Amino acid sequence: MWNHRHMTDPSSSSDTAGKTEITVHTSTEADWPTVEQLDAVAFGHYPAAEHSAFWRSLVDPADLLLAREGDTPVGVAMHLPLEFTVPGGEQVAARGITWVSVAPTHRRRGILRTMFTALHEGISATGAPISALTASEGGIYSRFGYGPATVSAGVSLDRRFARFLDTTPDPGGVRIVDAETARTLLPEIYERWRLVTPGAQARPEQYWERMFADSQETRGGATALFFFVHPDGYAAYRYKNTRRPGEDDALVALVTDFVTVTNDAHAALWRTLCGLDLTDRIEAHGHPDDPLRLLLTDYRLPRTVSRTDDLWLRIMNVPAALRLRRYAVDLSTVVEVEDPFLDAGGRFALEISGGRASCERTDAPARFRMRIDVLAGMYLGAHRARGYAAANRLWAADPAELTALDNAFCSDRPAVLGWGF
């Protein structure tokens, strides 16, 4: 059990009389109402009963931390087991951090750092080489060693004008299925997809149960789910009537889950979605390099309406993490990693041959230097070494070596978050 303490000073005075002790403890089942109250205040909505039940089924209370000032709860954070894919298809056991909240009455008192110190002690004890989170704000977690490792782009397509190029495959094979049938088909397709997709996690059974329960609380004012299924992919979507400034009412298909194992499945499902005759727009999220616009006669028709980070990673054990993934080119170098939060940094000899890496601590001179959040951002291939170098966040002894590092960390499949946690 963790029991961390630190003193905080709520005033600007240097007088120690005003200091208050903050303690961080592991929780029990009885603490869930308190956890939910803190989370509701932080994120602006009370969780539905099914949302609470979902998370209670996934998280061991021993992995949930509460910060208290005396008897008053002032912060919460928790972690849960994950398994996700890295480049090359290796499955990595990791820990996912979620429900991170600090009471607005106790800001700027070091509570988040204290909770994260205790939380990462627990993660280290599991032996997980990587930890992960999805961030509600982009400026918080880099100081704890986390870097954005997948990127998602929101696309809006006026399907009334969608025309496919003559070169676009028309493989067919898509069928309409009801929710009961989809429940039997989608998990297997998803599993095949995630086993070859960096960043995608295994979905627990509870995830599928919640998805197919499809309660009103999860619909955001839209319809129940519809399903198109291909042998190697699927699309789940809802309809919603929307009005935008200067526009008439529009019927929009909101794609909530789009998974394709093959290029043929991708083309076939987009052809089918664009065949929804009474639909004005299709809105979906995917990787920024999704080939949809390359399938169409009008390259500009799919409008990118958002671009955001999804999965953030932290390397807990640099040698172990670098040995797990596969690489595009051979490389022999020394990388110096700075870790401002934990002690995972150091200087490492990285030897890549035939796609596999060995990695050991070394005293040899560094050829590259970077913070650990930069290494995390490169780990799945979503961000390039050359981009970090241009931003002065990665130092290279030789530009030619930078090209080799850049190429080595490429992935043959884009990294995608499997589910938000």
Secondary structure (DSSP) of 1-33: --EEEEEE-SSS---GGG-EEEEEEE--GGGHH
Map tokens 């070494």 to a residue.
Answer: 385
3-state secondary structure of 71: coil
Known binding residues are 100-102, 108-113, 136-137
Token pair in block for residue 269: 């499902």
Instruction: Name residues of the chain where pLDDT drops below 50.
Output: 1-2, 6-17
Q: What is the layout of strands, in order, in the sheet containing 250-260?
A: 175-177, 226-230, 233-242, 250-260, 281-286, 151-158, 302-309
Per annotation, catalytic residue among 54, 141, 348, 409: 141
**What is the distance between the alpha carbons of residues 86 and 387, in angstroms, rounded to a whole number?**
21
3-state secondary structure of 386: helix
pLDDT score, position 217:
86
Length of the chain: 421
pLDDT in tens, 79-115: 999 999 999 999 999 999 999 999 999 988 889 999 9
**What is the distance between the alpha carbons of residues 349 and 91, in angstroms, rounded to a whole number?**
24
CA distances from 404 to 136, 154, 193, 265 (A): 34, 32, 29, 34
DSSP for 204-273, written as a single string: PHHHHHHHHH--GGGTTT----EEEEETTEEEEEEEEEE--TT---EEEEEEEEEEESSHHHHHHHHHHH
pLDDT score, position 128:
97
Burial 269-288 (b: 16+ CB within 10 A, else e): bbbbbbebeebbbbbbbbbe
**What is the distance between the alpha carbons of residues 313 and 380, in angstroms, rounded to a whole number?**
9
CA distances from 227 to 152, 175, 176, 256, 305 (A): 22, 8, 6, 10, 24
Helix (H) or strand (E) holding 370: strand 368-371
pLDDT score, position 245:
63
Q: Which residues make beta-bridge pairs with 358?
A: 351
Cβ atoms 313, 379 nearer than 8 A: yes
Domain 317-409 sits in CATH at: 3.30.1050.10
Residue 355 Ramachandran class (φ > 0 left, ψ -120 to 50 alpha, else beta): left
pLDDT score, position 107:
87
pLDDT score, position 247:
59
pLDDT score, position 416:
96
pLDDT score, position 246:
61
**What is the distance between the alpha carbons of residues 297 and 285, in angstroms, rounded to a whole number?**
21
Cβ atoms 47, 39 nearer than 8 A: yes
Domain 22-134 sits in CATH at: 3.40.630.30
Q: Which residues make beta-bridge pairs with 111?
A: none
Domain chopping of the chain, boundaries = 22-134, 152-309, 317-409
pLDDT score, position 248:
63
- Tell me if the pTM is above 0.95: no
Map tokens 């208290």 to a residue.
Answer: 68
pLDDT score, position 3:
52
Cβ atoms 118, 2 nearer than 8 A: yes
Q: Which residues make beta-bridge pairs with 235?
A: 228, 258
152 φ, ψ to 5°?
Answer: -120, 140
Cβ atoms 226, 237 nearer than 8 A: yes
Q: What letter would DSSP give residue 149?
A: -
Other CB atoms within 10 Å distance of the CB of residue 223: 14
**What is the distance between the alpha carbons of residues 106 and 308, in angstroms, rounded to a whole number?**
29
- Which residues, 6+ apart, have CB-to-CB distance to 364 below 8 Å? 334, 347, 349
Per annotation, catalytic residue among 226, 348, 388, 421: 421
Cβ atoms 95, 73 nearer than 8 A: no
Looking at CATH, the fold of the domain delimited by 152-309 is given as Aminopeptidase (3.40.630)
Known binding residues for acetyl-CoA are 100-102, 108-113, 136-137
Any catalytic annotation for residue 368? no
**What is the distance between the alpha carbons of residues 147 and 139, in angstroms, rounded to a whole number?**
11
Any catalytic annotation for residue 421? yes
Equal fold, 22-134 vs 152-309:
yes
- Alpha carbon 24 to chain centroid distance? 26
